[in-house]
């Protein structure tokens, strides 16, 4: 196997190790991120639950207050023959003592507003909305109820509480009469939210509130409706006729990256790179060990054992696929004379020069091996035509004819003889192919050396 291919395989192994470890690191980081996000959402859910309970408690207090106020007015009606607003001055003090966030209050007799608190309150559309609701089925207002929120004339969000007032003069056993009137109190929605601690608890969140109207349609009455497009957390709130949804998301979104997850990811990348480098080094080491087992120590080409093994494999493939192969044996003419005249060091240089020229000339899929001494073998593969073995052999031999190296004192001219045998023509098995190629090499030597001979 060529060194370049070995490096490519080692790189692919290193990359696979890196990607695999990095993949599991990313999975771990995502898992930790999900855990962190779930914890954040759990905390937000707890805060929403606190707000929910506080709103329930606040509105429950207002329910009791409305009931108490309407009952008190009923008692006044029982004690007077003619209604005078001065008889009801007590509720102004009660409102101021018990409602820090009421916006205005109406005292309604039948369908007419007979008193307003505070006196300077601007009612207009706000009261029209309230009275329009009263004109519906008044039976649903026999106990305190709440509606809203809706927007008033001065752009405030208002929740309205209604409580029916009995005349207090019904005879025992008489049919139930229509209410004398109603206590209608408008509450400032922002103040109700503040009373429930909404703004304090949700100071780190962006939130909006949706309200379902009588027709069942949802409307955003507080905040931004674009939150609906995000990874939101929401909770439903219902009380009396109120039907809300509180939707929130952290100001910066749910936490994705924390110091821990960043450090984990960086550590994973470092470890993945380290394991990739180790994998690259180990793969190269395996290839090096394999070369040491399969290659000739001096020249680097395949040794005899490995070359014969590959020759057998290619011979089997030839019988299965029909793709022709040819075996060439060659050696350096008068190699002993080179050693004797110039020394063994120069002889080794001659062998290396010959191997270099061969490997530069053959195709990438051809196989080169050293059988021993100065004898080498070339296995020509993928020969698709009948003339291909001859063309390939002549091309290599032509490149070897004029091989010269610079000796210590004089140039050394290297001449080679080559014998070629073709599988399927000259022999049908490995042993026969080796024998026929060796015979052809002997023929080239006998005919004057520095020659190419075919079996």
Q: Are residues 290 and 305 in the same domain?
A: no
User: Which CATH number covers residue 389?
Assistant: 3.30.70.270
CA–CA dist 172, 230 (Å, integer)? 60
Domain span including residue 253: 1-294
**Residues 214, 348 within the same domain:** no
Distances (CA, A) of 201 to 205, 211, 235, 332, 441: 9, 21, 15, 93, 96
The structural domain count of the chain equals 2
What is d(CA 297, CA 287) in angstroms, rounded to the nearest whole number?
A: 14
Average pLDDT estimate for 167-172: 65
Among the residue ranges 84-98, 99-113, 135-149, 290-304, the one predicted with the least confidence is 135-149
289 and 310 part of one domain = no
Q: Which helix (H) or strand (E) holds 371?
A: strand 367-372
254 plus 311 within the same structural domain: no
Residues 332 and 338: beta-carbon distance below 8 Å = yes
| Rg (alpha carbons) of the chain, rounded to whole number | 50
Looking at per-residue confidence, does 96 or 189 come out higher?
A: 189
Q: How high is the pLDDT of residue 357?
A: 92
The Cα–Cα gap between 177 and 168 comes to: 10
> End-to-end distance of the chain based on CA atoms, in angstroms?
29
Give the CATH number of the domain where residue 185 resides: 3.30.450.220
Structure tokens at 322: 């029909």
Domain final residue pick, 251, 274, 294: 294
Q: What is the pLDDT of residue 205?
A: 87
pLDDT band at 171 (very low <50, low <70, confident <90, very high): low
The predicted pLDDT at position 393 comes to 93
d(CA 159, CA 156): 10
Reported as a single tens digit per residue, the pLDDT across 340-357 is 888 888 888 889 999 999
What is the reported pLDDT for 312? 94
Lowest-pLDDT choice from 80-89, 195-204, 326-335: 80-89
For residues 272 and 382, membership in a common domain is answered with: no
Residue 116 in tokens = 């307003």
Whole-number pLDDT of residue 108: 80
What is the C-alpha separation between 333 and 352, in angstroms, rounded?
Answer: 15
DSSP calls for 124-150:
THHHHHHHHHHTS-GGGGSS-EEEEEE
Q: Among 268, 294, 320, give the residue marking a domain's end.
A: 294
Phi first, then psi, for residue 221 (nearest 5°) are -110, -10
Name the domain boundary from 246, 268, 294: 294
Q: What is the pLDDT of residue 103?
A: 76
222, pLDDT greater than 90: no
Task: Clarify whether residues 288 and 436 are in a common domain.
Answer: no
Task: Record the pTM.
Answer: 0.57
Kindly report the average pLDDT of the chain as a whole number: 83
* 6 and 121, same domain (yes or no): yes
Q: How far apart are CA 235 and CA 115, in angstroms?
A: 38
Q: What is the mean pLDDT of residues 215-234?
A: 77
Do 329 and 243 lie in one domain? The reply is no
Angstrom distance (rounded) from CA 322 to CA 301: 27
One domain for residues 231 and 335:
no
| Whether residue 225 has pLDDT greater than 80 | no
Residues 18 and 135 in one domain: yes
Q: Which residue has the higher pLDDT, 111 or 443?
A: 443
Per-residue pLDDT band at 181 (split at 50, 70, 90): confident
CA distance 432 to 409: 44
Tell me phi and psi for residue 444, to 5 degrees: -65, -40
State how far the Cα of 236 lies from the Cα of 216, in Å rounded to an integer.
14
Same domain, 134 and 257: yes
Give yes or no for residue 420 having a pLDDT over 90: yes
Tell me which of 136-140, 192-196, 231-235, 290-294 is least confident: 136-140
CA neighbours within 13 Å on the CB side: how many for 218? 13
Whether residue 280 sits in one domain with residue 316 = no
């Amino acid at each position: 196997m060529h060194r370049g291919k070995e490096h490519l395989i080692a790189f692919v192994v290193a990359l696979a190790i890196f990607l695999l470890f990095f993949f599991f690191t990313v999975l771990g980081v995502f898992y930790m991120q999900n855990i962190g996000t779930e914890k954040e959402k759990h905390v937000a859910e707890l805060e929403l639950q606190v707000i929910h309970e506080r709103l329930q408690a606040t509105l429950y207090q207002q329910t009791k207050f409305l009931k108490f106020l309407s009952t008190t007015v009923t008692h006044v009606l029982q004690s007077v023959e003619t209604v005078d607003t001065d008889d009801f001055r007590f509720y102004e003090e009660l409102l101021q003592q018990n409602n820090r966030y009421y916006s205005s209050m109406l005292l309604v007799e039948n369908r007419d507003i007979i008193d307003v608190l505070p006196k300077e309150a601007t009612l207009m559309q706000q009261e029209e909305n309230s009275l329009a609701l009263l004109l519906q089925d008044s039976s649903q207002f026999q106990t305190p109820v709440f509606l809203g929120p809706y927007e008033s004339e001065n752009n405030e969000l208002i929740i309205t509480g209604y409580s029916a007032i009995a005349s207090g003069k019904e005879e025992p056993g008489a049919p139930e009469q229509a209410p004398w009137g109603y206590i209608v109190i408008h509450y400032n929605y922002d103040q109700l939210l503040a009373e429930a601690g909404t703004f304090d608890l949700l100071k780190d969140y962006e939130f909006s509130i949706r309200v379902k109207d009588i027709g069942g349609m949802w409307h955003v009455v507080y905040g931004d409706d674009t939150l609906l497009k995000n990874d939101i957390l929401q909770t439903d709130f219902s009380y009396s006729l109120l039907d809300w949804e509180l939707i929130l998301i952290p100001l910066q979104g749910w936490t994705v990256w924390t110091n821990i997850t960043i450090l984990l990811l960086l550590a994973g990348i470092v470890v993945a790179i380290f394991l990739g480098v180790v994998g690259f080094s180990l793969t190269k080491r395996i290839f090096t060990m394999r070369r040491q087992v399969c290659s000739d120590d001096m020249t680097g080409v395949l040794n005899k054992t490995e070359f014969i093994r590959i020759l057998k494999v290619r011979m089997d493939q030839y019988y299965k696929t029909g793709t022709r192969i040819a075996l060439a044996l060659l050696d350096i003419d008068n190699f002993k004379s080179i050693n004797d005249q110039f020394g063994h060091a120069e002889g080794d240089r001659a062998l290396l020069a010959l191997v270099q020229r061969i490997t530069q000339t053959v195709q990438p899929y051809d196989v080169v091996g050293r059988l021993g001494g100065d004898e080498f073998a070339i296995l020509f593969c993928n020969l698709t035509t009948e003339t291909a073995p001859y063309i390939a052999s002549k091309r290599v031999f032509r490149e070897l004819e004029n091989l010269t190296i610079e000796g210590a004192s004089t140039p050394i001219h290297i001449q080679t003889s080559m014998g070629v045998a073709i599988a399927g023509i000259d022999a049908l098995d490995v042993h026969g192919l080796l024998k026929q190629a060796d015979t052809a090499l002997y023929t080239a030597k006998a005919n004057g050396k520095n020659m190419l001979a075919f079996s």
